[in-house]
Structure 1
Amino acid sequence: MKEIRLQERTKTNGSLLRVGDLAQRAGRTVRTIHYYEELGLITPTGHTSGGFRLYDENTLNRIRSIEMFQEMGMSLAHIQSLTKIWNGSPTGLEASKKLIPILRDWLSQTESLLERLTTVKDELEHTIEQIESCQPCSVKPDKWVCHECIQNIEAHPVSALIEFVISSK
């Protein structure tokens, strides 16, 4: 690794960051940053004369990408395998032949999740609309009264969530 002195660059505008500063900006712990490094997901840009690791803005962006992939359900091992495929392939053709099926599968899973989330979102919107009709009601909630009332007011079937809640007694 090349040695870069901290005095050469400041902590702003394209600067190099020590591991603690990087961890703070990324919202991660220093241990997590070191773990990402152990997995080969990030690498320091250099070191200070005292041996402290230094990272650039690209590393911060990589950490944010890792966070996004994890939020989408991808494990660190899976992320690591993608980088190993890319880095271990002798040609772009070889890398693409291996990566495209994996990414297509991930896309399919994401589309399926989006469909399920859209269904949940629609159900919640429908439930909110139906429950809003209860605001002027002065009657104690009861599964028979509420079921009939909501169904009559909305002229739609009672939402599954309301059905669950009012039939829980």
Structure 2
Amino acid sequence: MNNNVRLPVLHPPKTVPGASVSDVSDVSGIELPSSEEPIGAGTDEANLVQVGDLARDSGKTVRAIHLYEELGLLHPVARSKGRYRLYGADAIVRIRWIGRLQEMGFSLTDIQTIVREWEELHSAPRAMIRMKETYKRKLAETRGHIARLRALEHELESSLVYLDTCEVCDPDRMLSACKACDLHTCGEHVPELIAGFRAS
């Protein structure tokens, strides 16, 4: 384990009226973090990217990236001579990480809380332990969700097999006769997705 792991400093969140990660417009008037410095001697600007490039490479909108900044989840590392925000190579890793957590069911507010709690621990090993606990809980939830989906998959497959017989049914047969269908054997299991349709 790398004991030098350090999460970015979390700045107090600001409110962006009507902000949404699906918006494509830019955000004006956002103050740059105080830790952000202009490009100076010894800084390789060629390895830094502006927000538009970061948005393109990450598949996010410029608005989403600025929202991440507002929530303290992402920080530019410097500004160009033209005062444009510049981001390091790890910015896209952070954006993808945020996206993964959202896919797992975390909201941006949840992620903000997670980052804040980790940073308050200060100790890298303790932060990693907290991360492990969070991921273990989410893994258990994910496995439960997968099990439910597999059960649903089996139910759908059984229903489709059962309904294959209905294709040879007399077209003039009344729907009410389905409750006492003689095309299926008496001992044949009726999937719940079929039984529920038959029930009145």
Structure 1 length-normalised TM: 0.72
Could you tell me whether the CA contact under 8 Å between 2:155 and 2:193 is conserved in 1?
yes
Q: Under a length normalisation based on structure 2, what TM-score does the superposition of the two structures give?
A: 0.63
Aligned partners of 1:19 and 1:54 also within 8 Å: yes
Q: C-alpha separation between the residues in 2 aligned to 1:144 and 1:100?
A: 56
| CA distances 1:3-60 after superposition (whole Å, capped 9, x unpaired) | 459x953xxxxx5432223223433322211111122222224322212222344322
Counterpart check, 1:48 vs 2:48: no
Using CA pairs under 8 Å that are at least 6 residues apart, name the structure with larger relative contact order, 1 or 2: 2
Question: Per residue, is there more helix in 1 or in 2?
Answer: 1
Q: Does 1:145 align with 2:178?
A: yes
User: RMSD of the TM alignment (CA)?
Assistant: 3.2
CA deviation digits over 1:73-108, x for unaligned, max 9?
Answer: 112122222222322223234324544443333232
Q: Where has structure 1 moved over 6 Å in runs of 4 or more?
A: none
Gaps of 5+ in 1: 10-14
Unaligned runs of 5+ in 2: 1-35
Identity, in percent, stands at 32
Q: Is the 8 A contact 1:41 1:80 kept in 2?
A: yes
Q: How many residues align?
A: 161
Aligned residue type for 1:161: L
State the partner residue of 1:87: 119
Whole-angstrom distance in 2 between the partners of 1:119 and 1:27: 34
User: Shift of residue 150 of structure 1?
Assistant: 6.7
- Using the TM superposition, give the Cα deviation of residue 117 of structure 1 relative to its aligned residue in structure 2, in angstroms: 1.8
